[in-house]
């Protein structure tokens, strides 16, 4: 590979930091959005209905716009850029854009027409209350077109990513959060049914996200001219890769779907508790795990297309080291600070003390699996870049079955025994499935001789363990009882929480330095 295309750890770190920075802004606004949701709508029937209406297009978005699309489009796009002419690459983009858009339109139309049936499938517990069922179905008719807009947005983002323009796609979710916040604060009070403002906002935000990216595509002369050409070789290749990936993504989303179905049968608010806790768990996952996956997939695809196996393995190992360094303390921090976080961010208004307790249970259960979630995001691109989408599917099926068996049985047992928070079992089962998924992905890459560990892993794990112990000691020293957090004003909560997070993080990184960890140890061997 020539010098211009050589990948360095510094380059990847800088691009990852750019994506993380944009993602941080989006996640902060996402937290503000969820705070607004909690204060204005709480964790009751209305919020459950909206989350059901939002979950369905979000679930399908994962099919089309994230894992499956990345697995199919990005590797083929990288191959075209490396091995074909500019005109051939343009022809592929036009054919892919037109074919993908037509398929999405048909799926969206079916979803809008069949909204009541979809709600019946994903939330059967709503049937007992016709009002909630009807409301969820009505909202779904407005939220479902989000699938069309956000999938095309992901398509545009995939093009930008393959051109090394990571910041625009990473910034785009900010628009969704801004629109939802504005709708909850200013539009909802004007409506007879305030929760409907959120459904309208999802539709508007989806369209705005797509329109936002188009000028940036035009700037790099990559704005597609959509053409219906399903028989184009590149399109056929992309969809051939996408189909198993869609099934693989569906495995993950079936986990979410099954959890939602079970949660709809549990006490009122269970869906909301899982939502708020999942959003907090997704904060560090989005900042680091998803940012790493977003940046490395185009590079890994290019390396594989150029048959540069050594740098491929080095890039993958670099990602794993970063994941260990960040995901482990993030998980520990979420477990210890779950109560203070939820009280500070959500408590007040319609979000009462019981909602706090129930959400804490779910967050701690989710946090246990954060390392597993992060490694899935890091390891899966190694399969996609090699145009192997079948192996993650097989592994995903195993994780699905484990989640189904553990989640349903434990939730039923806790519910029948009178435990106040049986929904936590669903979060715990999801975490277990994520860890199992990550382990099996890792073993698969080891078997394929893709992962080749350089010396130093033992030392890294020891340092991370000791540094986490130091962080735990500091956080426990700063611990205050839940009663203090409940009674404290919002300013005192924010100050003490920020101080605790800063002190814990400081203790962690200072201990790493004391133990001899240096940035140079994260350079790739070819740097």
At residue 155, does pLDDT exceed 80?
Answer: yes
pLDDT in tens, 39-51: 888 767 788 888 8
pLDDT at position 512 over 90: yes
Which tens digit of pLDDT belongs to each residue from 412-437?
888 888 787 888 889 999 899 989 99
The per-residue b/e assignment along 318-346, b for 16 or more CB within 10 angstroms, e otherwise, is bbbbbbbbbbbbbbbbbbbbbbbbbbbbb
pLDDT in tens, 101-136: 999 999 999 999 999 998 887 777 776 655 578 888
Residue 4, pLDDT above cutoff 50? no
Task: Name the one residue in this structure whose structure tokens are 């100050």.
Answer: 495
Rounding to the nearest 10 degrees, give the CA dihedral for residues 92, 94, 98, 101.
90
Tell whether the model's pLDDT for residue 267 goes beyond 60: yes
Query: What angle do the packed helices 353-368 and 370-385 form, to 10 degrees?
Result: 50
Please answer whether residues 376 and 437 qualify as being in contact, where contact means their C-beta atoms are separated by less than 8 angstroms.
yes
Percent of the chain with pLDDT over 90: 38
The pLDDT-based confidence of 345 (bands split at 50, 70, 90) is: confident
pTM strictly above 0.85: no
Tokens of 95: 């054919």
Average pLDDT in the chain: 84
For residue range 281-292, list pLDDT tens digits in order.
877 877 776 667
Contacts of 212 (CB under 8 A, 6+ apart): 172, 175
Return the pLDDT at 478: 95
Residue 38 has pLDDT above 50, yes or no: yes
Is the per-residue pLDDT at 476 higher than 80?
yes
Task: Give residue 516's region: left, alpha or beta (phi > 0; psi -120 to 50).
Answer: left
Whether the CB-CB separation of 424 and 366 falls below 8 Å is answered with no
CA–CA dist 250, 49 (Å, integer): 22
Residues in the chain: 527
pLDDT band at 457, cuts 50/70/90?
confident
- Residues 382-408: pLDDT tens digits? 887 887 878 888 888 898 889 888 988
The strand ranges marked E within 191-336 are none
């Amino acid at each position: 590979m020539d010098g211009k295309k050589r990948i360095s750890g510094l380059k990847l770190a800088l691009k990852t930091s750019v994506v993380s920075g944009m993602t941080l802004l989006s996640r902060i606004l996402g937290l503000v959005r969820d705070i607004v949701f909690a204060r204005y709508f709480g964790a009751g029937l209305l919020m459950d209905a909206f989350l059901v209406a939002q979950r369905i297009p979000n679930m399908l978005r994962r099919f089309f716009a994230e894992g499956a699309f990345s697995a199919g489009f990005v590797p083929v796009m990288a191959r075209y850029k490396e091995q074909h002419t500019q005109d051939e690459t343009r022809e592929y983009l036009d054919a892919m854009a037109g074919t993908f858009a037509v398929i999405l339109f048909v799926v969206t139309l079916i979803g809008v027409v069949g909204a009541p049936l979809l709600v019946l499938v994903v939330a059967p517990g709503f049937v007992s209350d016709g009002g909630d069922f009807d409301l969820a179905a009505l909202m779904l008719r407005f939220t479902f077109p989000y699938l069309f807009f956000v999938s095309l947005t992901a398509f545009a983002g995939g093009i930008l990513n393959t051109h090394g323009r990571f910041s625009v796609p990473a910034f785009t979710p900010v628009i969704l959060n801004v629109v939802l916040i504005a709708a909850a604060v200013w539009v909802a009070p004007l409506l007879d049914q305030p929760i409907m403002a959120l459904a309208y906002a999802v539709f508007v935000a989806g369209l705005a996200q797509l329109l936002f990216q188009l000028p940036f595509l035009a700037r790099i002369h990559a704005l597609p001219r959509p053409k219906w050409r399903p028989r184009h070789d590149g399109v056929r290749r992309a969809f051939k890769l996408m189909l198993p990936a869609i099934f693989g993504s569906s495995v993950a989303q079936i986990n979410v779907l099954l959890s939602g179905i079970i949660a709809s049968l549990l006490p009122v608010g269970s869906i909301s508790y899982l939502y708020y806790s999942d959003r907090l768990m997704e904060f560090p996952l989005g900042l680091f795990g998803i940012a790493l996956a977003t940046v490395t997939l185009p590079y890994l695809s290019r390396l594989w297309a150029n048959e540069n196996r050594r740098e491929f393995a080095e890039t993958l190992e670099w990602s794993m080291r970063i994941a260990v360094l960040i995901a482990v303390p993030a998980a520990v921090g979420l477990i210890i600070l779950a109560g203070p976080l939820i009280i500070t961010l959500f408590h007040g208004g319609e979000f009462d003390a019981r909602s706090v307790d129930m959400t804490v249970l779910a967050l701690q259960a989710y946090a246990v699996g954060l390392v597993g979630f992060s490694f899935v995001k890091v390891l899966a691109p190694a399969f996609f870049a090699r145009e192997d989408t079948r192996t993650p599917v097989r592994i995903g099926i195993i994780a699905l079955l484990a989640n189904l068996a553990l989640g349903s049985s434990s939730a039923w047992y806790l519910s029948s025994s009178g435990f106040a928070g049986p929904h936590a079992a669903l979060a715990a089962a999801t975490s277990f499935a994520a860890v199992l998924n990550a382990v099996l992905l890792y073993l698969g890459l080891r078997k394929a001789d893709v992962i080749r560990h350089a010396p130093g892993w033992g030392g890294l794990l020891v340092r991370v363990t000791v540094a986490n112990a130091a962080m735990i000691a500091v956080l426990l020293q700063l611990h205050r009882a839940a009663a203090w957090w409940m009674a404290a004003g919002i300013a005192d909560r924010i100050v003490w929480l920020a101080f605790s997070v800063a002190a814990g993080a400081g203790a962690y990184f200072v201990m790493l330095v004391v133990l001899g960890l240096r940035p140079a140890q994260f350079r790739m061997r070819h740097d």
